[in-house]
Structure 1
Amino acid sequence: MNTKFITFILFYTILNSFSFAQQKCSDLENELKFQKAKNEELSKENRYYKETLDLLKPIQSVKIDGLQLDITSIVGSKADKTVTVTFMYKNIEAETRSFFQCEQAYFIDPQGNQAHAFEIFVSFNQGIRAENIKPDIPTKATITFKTTETTYPIIRQLKIIVFPKEIMAKQIEAIFENLDVVWK
């Protein structure tokens, strides 16, 4: 009788342990799924912040007419035969600037070939003009060039033509030299 009772207790304990282990395993699987989702979301945030830091690290900077222009990346696409220049502009004066307008840009490669801007976006609505530029707030802009060559490692000279804050004044050239191109 004692043996049967001990066997019954032992069998009952093993069954309870097994069902408890299954329940724990299911809980752990759910926790693992939650942690993986959380990790993925944190990875996305991390990539965003790294890209933001890269945008804030200029390759070259120029100050003109109360603005600071910072070139942050130059990426060439061999497939599209384009070069995209990303830059940040910032009003470095104390007052709000009424506008920033840029509708022309060109560059010269090491062989002397010129490429003129194909697309210029300086505002949120993908236009060539931004209005009411607040002081010390960097804003992202892009210029895309169509090109025939896709092998040059640098842009010898890049000129971005900017309208001055004084409407009747002559347009201003922001000039950057010897900029590395990253081809993809």
Structure 2
Amino acid sequence: MSVTRIHPFRSPARLTSALVAMFLFLPLSAAAAEPGDSDAGFDPMDAPEGEVILRVDGAIEHANDGDRALLDRTMLDRLPHVELETSTVVTDGVNHFEGFLMRDLLGALGAEGDEVVATALNDYIVDIPMEDFHDYDVVVAHTRDGEALTPRDKGPLWIVYPRDDHAELDDIRYDYRWVWQLEHLEVR
């Protein structure tokens, strides 16, 4: 599997090609892909075989459990892998995060909407404008500084913004969107 490091000047225009490919129902394969590419290596129609760590519902085209997608770690690991180094307001120094781009997940699920409502294990809920995922390389991290995230340490999934790469992200409005212990997304 290839690893892509996120660069501050990566063009969000690559999302357009991914959405067009999804719209045209191009088959997805397990081959490595760059984040934002149409080939996400992920089939949201598969049923999870392991513990479900993320539920996604709402305005999604591809589901595997009625009108929602239930996703386990193995399924999420098929998305293109990215790495991000950035500081946070809740940890010391610069941290190294690994995971996948939120826009790759939403593209694989055929998500269409203006916002995503993210819910954490502790029932923290926040609305995130869909444009955030177009404008920034927002990562859904499963690893921080080489360690898998657990519910005791902001895991198993944590929405992470590339705040050190964009001055405007050093703002409390964005800090509220850093959802740790992520368990549910609703696309509206």
Provide TM-score, normalisation by structure 1.
Answer: 0.25
Q: Whose strand proportion is higher, 1 or 2?
A: 1
Indicate the structure (1 or 2) with the bigger Cα radius of gyration.
1
